[in-house]
């Protein structure tokens, strides 16, 4: 698989307008930088804030993104590197899938892997 590398400057959101930000390990390893930004790996937990999704008038917001990187890709600290086209799902707190994450922009040109 090839594509632009997801790093700390990449803008990621849910399909309902929320913003996703990497937290915890894998959210940005300082050992590998792209455009001066730490890269994200499959170990990253992306928390979603600001999702306004409702079902029958009841708020059911996305709260996180779960990535499913392809096997055999580039590893950083033992975890797969995330690319803009890495499959993922936005999930509710109850782990109900609500659509694919939206990668809308990256700061700078970004590096291409593959």
pTM, rounded to two decimals? 0.83
In degrees rounded to 5, what are phi and psi of residue 94?
-90, 15
114 residues of the chain, pLDDT tens digit each: 578 888 888 899 999 999 999 876 555 556 788 888 888 888 888 999 999 999 999 999 999 999 999 888 889 888 899 999 999 999 999 999 999 999 976 555 555 555
The ranges assigned to domains in the chain are: 3-113
CATH top-level class of 3-113: mainly beta
Q: Using the structure block, give the residue that is written with the tokens 């992306």.
A: 46
What is the rounded distance in angstroms from the CA atom of residue 84 to the CA atom of residue 87?
A: 9
């Amino acid at each position: 698989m090839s594509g632009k590398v997801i790093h700390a400057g990449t803008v990621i959101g849910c399909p309902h307008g929320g913003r996703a930000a990497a937290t915890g390990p894998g959210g940005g390893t300082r050992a590998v930088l792209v455009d001066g930004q730490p890269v994200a790996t499959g170990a990253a937990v992306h928390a979603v804030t600001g999702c306004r999704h409702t079902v029958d008038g009841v708020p059911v917001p996305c709260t996180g993104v779960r990535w499913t990187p392809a096997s055999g890709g580039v590893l950083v600290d033992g975890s797969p590197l995330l690319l803009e086209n890495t499959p993922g799902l936005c999930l509710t707190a109850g782990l109900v899938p609500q659509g694919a994450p939206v990668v809308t922009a990256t700061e700078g040109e970004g590096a291409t892997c593959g």
